[in-house]
Amino acid sequence: MKIEWECSENLFMDAPLELVGDCCQLAEGLTLSCAVHVLFTDDQQIRILNREQRQVDRATDVLSFPTVSYREGRTARESGKRLKAEWDPELSACMLGDIVISIEHAQAQAEEYGHSVRREVCYLFAHGLFHLMGYDHMEENEKKEMRLMEEKALNMAGISREEQTPHATDDELLALARLAMTRSYSPYSHYPVGAALLCKDGRVFTGCNVENASFGLTNCAERTALFKAVSEGAREFETIAIASVATPPYPCGACRQALNEFAPELKILVTWGEGQSAKTTLPELLPHSFGPSDLA
Ligand code: THU
């Protein structure tokens, strides 16, 4: 998901909102590239917005303003035409709307619920996003459905209140890799690649290839995801999903070696073309590998 930020300080850059956004839209079954505008603000400003836009004169945790007006009882997945009408050619994505989050409220609620501000911000973002996709919580059954969707998306992103929650499935990882591919920076090769790396603790880190005018500095999607993960403290990995366009994107030699450092038993999923996919493992792609144990 593309996020257009508006924030005085990037206080919550450690909250993986792009990933949460991808997981929310996939939980809803949307595979087209989507975008949102996010404003982080304080109680005073959110109160003004709430008063001006909704005639409610009080501060709140999150507000959302959808661009699409959904038909009664319908959500984004059943509103393809209306969504496509919001396609922004400059962003190459469908603009779903605006989300406003009060940092002050998020901090207070995190303390009240006994979890991190990071989790609270992810939850509020997911909540706002489901509103942008046509969900509401006026009736008890609607509220239940919206909560289920939020939990599903946050679990998929590895952000959950429970320790033991199901990890992203192979199909979900493949879909996350395809979405990560839409962020590829590949103006020289025109070969976009996306990757989604599942950690043993359930977190998922995504990455895309990032090319450079000097060519040799290009970073592959797999190593982007791996380096993001390791630099956030993750060291143990279960599966990597890799997506590209025309041919099966098996990892290059450098990526195989980099992945072997942390996960010599890694499962590897690749997808390309019109949803073709294949499975393999790192030992199969890198037999007789050289790794940390050889130095022991
Ligand atoms: N690429 C990857 O991202 N992963 C691989 O394992 C193979 C190659 C990228 C690098 C470059 O941006 C483009 O694909 C063409 O080589």
pLDDT digits (tens, 9 = 90+) for 110-156: 999 988 888 999 999 999 999 999 999 999 999 999 999 999 999 88
| Residue 164: pLDDT band with limits 50, 70, 90 | low
pTM, two decimal places: 0.78
Report whether residue 221 contacts ligand 1, using a CB cutoff of 6 Å: yes
CA distances from 48 to 8, 38, 39, 87 (A): 17, 17, 14, 30
Catalytic residue IDs: 222
Full set of structural domains in the chain with CATH: 2-156 (3.40.390.30), 170-295 (3.40.140.10)
Pocket flag, ligand 1, residue 186 (CB < 6 Å): yes
- 55-95 pLDDT, tens digit per residue, is 999 999 999 999 999 999 999 999 999 999 999 999 999 99
**Spacing, Cα 191 to ligand 1 middle (Å):** 7
pLDDT of residue 66: 97
Report CA(199)–ligand 1 centroid distance (Å): 22
Beta carbon of 257 within 6 Å of any ligand 1 atom: no
pLDDT of 9: 56
What b/e sequence results for 181-200 when a residue is b if at least 16 CB atoms lie within 10 Å of its CB, and e otherwise? bbbbebeeeeebbbbbbbbe
Measuring from atom 14 of ligand 1, which residue has the nearest CA? 191
| 266 CA → ligand 1 middle, Å | 19
189 lines ligand 1 (CB under 6 A): yes
**Which ligand 1 atom is nearest residue 251's CA?**
6
Confidence of residue 202 (pLDDT cuts 50, 70, 90): confident
